[in-house]
Amino acid sequence: MKLQKTLNRLQKLHPKEIDLSLDRIKKLCQKLGNPQDKIKSISVVGTNGKQSTINAIFYILKENGVKCNVYTSPHIKKINERFVFNNEELEDEKLGYLFEEVEKINNKEPITFFEILTACYLYKAAEYPENINLIEAGLFHRFDATNVLKNNLASVVCPISKDHLDWLPIDKQTINQIVHEKTSNLLNSNIIVSKQNSIETTECIKKTISKNLSNKFFFNEDFSFSSGENGFFYYKDKFGTLKLPMPNILGKFQLENISTAIATLRVLDFDVGDEDIKNGIKKIKNIARLQEIKSGKLKDLIKDNRLLLDGSHNEDSSRVLNEYLMTLDCDKHLIVGMMANKDHKKYISYFKNISSFTTIDIPNQPNAISGIELKQKFQNLPNIQYKESIEQAIKSIPLKKNDLLIIAGSLYLSGEFLKLN
């Protein structure tokens, strides 16, 4: 309760949720003694796959005995997820003290919620100068609060696609502008570019970073992977080829994220052995990214049927989710809730051979589109219905043996499901 009260105060320090500028975060960091200059970091930018790539780096380094701090957003169930130090989430009491200390130093100066959270993370991270910091950029990157780092070991560029377009002028809502926002101001170090969704996007990234003095590494040019048989896949770069076990997470796209993570660690010449990579891959866990729910009170409602939870919310993440679903020979039922600022029709257009669609309201999210309005947008879909709650939606679907239930459309919806389950 005390932690939540502090969070409520921090959210009121600025009238806007987002106000793209580096001035406020730099000013607060200066008051804090410039903690961003005292840490070693790997920054991760892009639209999709950022957290999955960070997870892969984290588990491989952990297997090697390296201590990490991790900063990601948004959180799924609780805000502590954003604040990982020495490989562990910061507990409520310590997190509350951290927020209050930085709040006092900020002295009621206007600053956005994300900016002050970022300052809190950097302030705490400076207590562990030997740790590797894995930092996920928030909205875009050029004016993102995380773009204040000094000792940035590498910038990882995950797949870039159209999302958060409402924060750009109408005439700049293009993939070229999004690439510019995310990559034009990367720090000089090493840039690792993962597999992109089109050749055009890759070429646009190359053009945007052409004057950046960093060492540059591109998927399919400097590193790659290929699917194998009997539970293995192959990773290849200039250092050689690795035969690796398939991870215990779903989706071929995860091999792209894992390969990018391996490339990053090998480029940086961390003392990571082949066994560290193999063992780390087997321990990767992803929440709300094609996560199979195997227990819980909401899962019990469908008994032996499979339940997948996925936080996909833009067209490219919808596409890769559907690519996985198309590999499954069963009837599929989709429960979907989304935020208001997403391209709802484009998102849903990628789903094929879905037996039923159920739209719902996302609890505790004033910026979500109502399930009723979402149903109206999807009115041309077959077997479309609206239910007010997650539980009502699950109960309403007449699943047959071997049918699959998918809950998708928003990370916020995923978080609410996990809290209820």
Domain 2-282 has CATH 1.20.120.1200: no
* Pair type for strands 88-89 and 40-45: unpaired
Q: Which tens digits make up the pLDDT trace of 130-186?
A: 999 999 998 767 888 999 998 899 999 999 987 666 666 777 778 888 888 889 999
Q: Which tens digits make up the pLDDT trace of 193-249?
A: 999 989 999 999 999 999 999 999 999 999 999 988 888 999 999 999 999 999 999
Beta strands in 147-189 (DSSP E): 152-157
Domain ranges for the chain: 2-282, 291-420
Under the banding of pLDDT at 50, 70 and 90, the label for residue 264 is very high
With H, G, I as helix, E, B as strand and everything else as coil, classify residue 278: helix
pLDDT at 141: 77
With H, G, I as helix, E, B as strand and everything else as coil, classify residue 354: coil
Q: Which fold has domain 291-420?
A: Protein-Tyrosine Phosphatase; Chain A (3.90.190)
pLDDT at 241: 97
Residue 74: cis peptide before it, omega within 30 degrees of 0: yes
pTM of the model: 0.94
- Residue 125 to residue 87: CA distance in whole angstroms: 12
Residue 148 contacts residue 71 (beta carbons within 8 Å): no
Separation of first and last alpha carbons in the chain: 21
Q: Which tens digits make up the pLDDT trace of 13-38?
A: 887 776 778 999 999 999 999 999 99
